[in-house]
Structures are given as C-alpha cells and as structure tokens.
Chains A and B, each alone.
Chain A
Amino acid sequence: MKVSKCDPRLAKYLIEQYGGADGELAAALRYLNQRYTIPDKVIGLLTDIGTEEFAHLEMIATMVYKLTKDATVEQMEAAGLGGHLVDHGFDLYYHNAAGNPFTVACLTAKGDPIANLYEDIAAEEKARATYQWLIDITDDADIQDGLRFLREREVIHALRFREAVEMLKGYQEEKKVF
C-alpha cells in the first residue's frame, strides 16, 4: 500500500473499515461463519470472499499503520486520535471511526440461506458507500487508488452474492427432474 501524505487524521476515518460494522473484519467473520451451513453449491463462494476480506483487512491495516507510525503525540491529538493513543498507543485496534470497539452484534447468522445472502449483499453495498465517503474525505491520490480498488471489490462481491441467490433459487428446476 502506498501512502503519499502524512495525514494521521485519515487513519481515524479509515479505522471504520477495520473494526466498523460494515468493515472488512465483520465481512470476513460473517462469511467464514455462514459458510458451514450454507447449501454446498455456494460454500466455495463464501469461503473465497471471506478469505479475500482478510486480505482487504491487511490493506486497511497497512494504510492506518503508515499514517500513524511516525506521528507525534501532538499530531495524534490534533487528528482526534488522543483517546486512541491513551488506550492503545500506536497499536491498531478493532474499533470504528467513532471509537466504539468491534462487536459481533453487527453481523448475523439467521440459519436461512436467502436471509443470510441478502444480509451479505446489504453489507457489501454498505461497505461500498463507506469507501465512497472515504475517497471523498481524502486528497491523497495513492490512498484513493487503494480505496477505489477496495470499493470495486465490494461491487463485484455484491454481484457474486446475488448470483448465489439465483443459484439457490434455481436449485428447484434441477431437483424437479428425478
């Protein structure tokens, strides 16, 4: 990940995608948990995307790390990261942009493939919206490049999940022929 501007303030916002409700950690945990009981036809999709989300988590982590690792205490405080510094120093932590710690209460597993996949589609669209706000809030061209890539992955994942819904709907026709 290339970060071209010393801007610890942006780290405070990027952390939303690290430990926020629609962030990459929530996505990875959601998919890699649902994968066990989803019909076997779409287990592979959830496994692949769930694993990919962990890679995206590393990208966000790297951005946050680079933005804060050489910041002074004064810079951290000016960036609104004074509370983070007191609690975590320069460590990263799984919380959202408002400082609320990550909670699995933000993700669901309903035991119903259609309900679960719609949750997944909604999560991807919400993450896409978050990336759009993040692109809007920074003028770092390199960060924007990374965020645009991550936003596009949300677009593709949402499509893949909608395809998965269609596959589960289509099961009927195949099974009808005995």
Chain B
Amino acid sequence: MDPQWHAYTPYSSALDPCPPRPKAYIVPPNQYVIFQPHGLRQFAPREALKRGTLWPELYSPYEHGDRGGGRR
C-alpha cells in the first residue's frame, strides 16, 4: 500500500454484528507543502501529462483496492 495511506484500528466490540475490517484514510502530499519549493524533481512531459502533475513529490496515487480490499 502507498505510504500516503494511513491505517488505523478503531474500537471493535465482541458484540459487533460484523467482523471488523481494516480501516485506512489517505493524506495526499499537498497537506505537507505550504509553499511549493523551487527546483523539485520533474516527470518527463508525457508522464506528467498522464499523471496530472509535473512533480513526483506532489503525485498522489489512488488505486482501486488501496483502502483495503476495495469493493468486497
């Protein structure tokens, strides 16, 4: 799983009707940047166009199933 995902385990009771499932939330990299610094690494132009950003540091992947099992 991408490190942008943060797993956590909320309280789960023995009386809960369904078995507990893993929980996770994503924090995209923009949360850690106040002003974007100059001179960041860059993707190749075609790669940047595909990903939606020129800078790998600001790229946030979001793959089906990253949340933990996806649609199950």
Contact = CB atoms under 8 A, between A and B. Distances in A.
B7 to A, nearest CB: 6
A172 interface: yes
B10 A112 contact: no
Nearest to A165: B31
Contacts of A41: 8
Interface size class, chain B: 10 to 19
B27 A172 contact: yes
B31 A172 contact: no
Contacts, number: 35
Chain B, interface SS category: mixed
Interface string A154-178: 0000000000010011011001100
26 contacts: A39-B6, A39-B23, A39-B25, A40-B8, A40-B9, A40-B10, A40-B11, A43-B10, A112-B25, A112-B26, A114-B26, A114-B28, A165-B31, A168-B25, A168-B27, A169-B27, A169-B31, A169-B32, A171-B6, A171-B8, A171-B27, A172-B3, A172-B6, A172-B27, A175-B6, A175-B7
Interface of A: 39-41, 43, 112-114, 165, 168-169, 171-172, 175-176
